[in-house]
Structure 1
Amino acid sequence: MQRIAVTPRENWRERVESVGMLYHTIDGAPYWDESACYRFTRSEIDTLDIATAELHSLCLQAVEEVIRRDLFAKLHIPKEFAALVTDSWENDEPTLYGRFDLVWDGSGPPKMYEYNADTPTSLLEASVVQWFWLRETRPDDDQFNSIHEKLIRFWQRWPNLERTPVHFACAGDAMEDLGNLEYLRDTALQAGARTRRLYVEEIGWDSTRLDFVDLDHAPIRVLFKLYPWEWMIREEFGRHLTRARIRLMEPPWKMVLSNKGILPILWNLFEGHPNLLPAGFEDRPLPGDFVRKPLFSREGSNIEIHRQGSVTSTPGSYGGDGYIRQQYQPLPCFGGNYPVIGSWVIDGDPAGIGIREDATEITTNGSRFLPHFFVEG
Structure 2
Amino acid sequence: MRRERAEPRTGWPQIIEAQGLAYHRTSHPENLTRPYWDESVHYTFEMDEVLRLEETVEELHRMCMEAAAYIVTSGRYELLGIPPHLVPAIEASWNRRDPHLSGRFDLRYDGAGPPKLLEYNADTPTSLVESSIIQWYWKEDLFPSDDQWNSLHERLVDRWKSLPLRDGPVHFAWTEDDESGEEFMTVAYMKEVAEQAGRLGVGITMQDIGWDGHDFRDNGRNEIKTLWKLYPWEWIVAEEFGAHIDETDWVEPMWKMLLSNKGLLVALWELFPGHPNLLRAYLDTPGNMKSYIRKPLLGREGASMEIVTPGLRHATEGRYGAEGFVFQEFQALPDFDGQHPVIGAWVVGEESAGIGIRETSGLITDDTSSFVPHRIPL
TM superposition score normalised by structure 1: 0.96
> How far apart, CA to CA, are the structure 1 residues paired with 2:59 and 2:150?
18
Please point out which of 130, 134, 153 is paired with 1:129.
134
SS at match of 1:131: helix
- Give the aligned partner of residue 336 of structure 1: 338
Q: Secondary structure at the match of 2:247?
A: coil
Distance 2:8 2:99 in 1: 39
Look up the match of 1:41.
Answer: 46
Deviates more, 1:333-342 or 1:74-83: 74-83
Does 337-346 or 217-226 show the bigger shift?
Answer: 217-226
Cross-structure match for 1:110? 115
Per-residue CA deviation, residues 241-287 of structure 1 (Å, 9 max, x unaligned), is 2xx42111111110010010010110010001111111111246242
Residues 344 and 350 of structure 1 are in contact (CA less than 8 Å); yes or no, is this contact kept in structure 2? yes
> What amino acid is aligned across from residue 8 of structure 1 in structure 2?
P
Once the two structures are superposed, the pairs formed by residues 132-147 of structure 1 within 5 Å of their partners are 132-147=137-152
Look up the SS of the partner of 1:89 in the other structure.
helix
Segment drifting more, 70-79 vs 312-321: 70-79
Give me the identity figure in percent: 44
* CA-CA distance at 1:71 after TM superposition: 1.4
Q: What amino acid does structure 1 have at the position aligned with 2:282?
A: G
Alignment match of 2:319 (pick from 317, 320, 331): 317
**Matched residue count:** 371
2:230 pairs with one of 219, 226, 234? 226
Rounded Cα–Cα distance in structure 2 between residues aligned with 1:74 and 1:41: 38
What is the match of residue 99 of structure 1?
A: 104
Output the CA distance in 2 between the equivalents of 1:283 and 1:101.
22
The 8 Å contact of residues 23 and 31 in structure 1, kept in 2 or not, is answered as: no
CA contact (8 A) 1:142 1:373 kept: yes
* Distance across 2 between alignment mates of 1:364 and 1:165: 35
Partner of 1:185: 191
Deviations 1:152-176 (A, max 9, x none): 0011123357x31100001113211
Higher mean C-alpha deviation, range 138-147 or range 38-47: 38-47
Would you say the 8 A contact 1:102–1:343 is kept in 2? yes
What TM-score do the two structures reach when normalised by structure 2? 0.96
Structure 1 CA distance for aligned equivalents of residues 41 and 285 of structure 2: 43
| 309-318 vs 110-119, greater mean Cα deviation | 309-318
Q: Is the 8 A contact 2:64 2:259 kept in 1?
A: yes
1:22 maps onto 2:22 in alignment: yes
Report deviation, 1:84.
1.3
Question: Cα RMSD over matched residues?
Answer: 1.3
One-letter amino acid matched to 2:302: G
What is residue 368 of structure 1 aligned with on the other side?
A: 370
Larger mean Cα displacement after TM superposition, 256-265 or 168-177: 168-177
Per-residue deviation, 1:53: 0.4
Give unmatched runs, 5+ long, in structure 2: none
Q: In structure 1, what is the equivalent of residue 78 of structure 2?
A: 73
Alpha-carbon offset, residue 217 of structure 1: 1.4
Name the CA distance, whole Å, in 2 between partners of 1:290 and 1:74. Answer: 18
Aligned partner of 2:131: which letter? A
Structure 2 residue 218 is matched with structure 1 residue 214:
yes
CA distance in 2, matches of 1:22, 1:43: 34
Q: Distance in 2 between matches of 1:190 and 1:172?
A: 25
Match of 1:277 among 274, 279, 288: 279
- What letter corresponds to residue 322 of structure 1 in structure 2? G
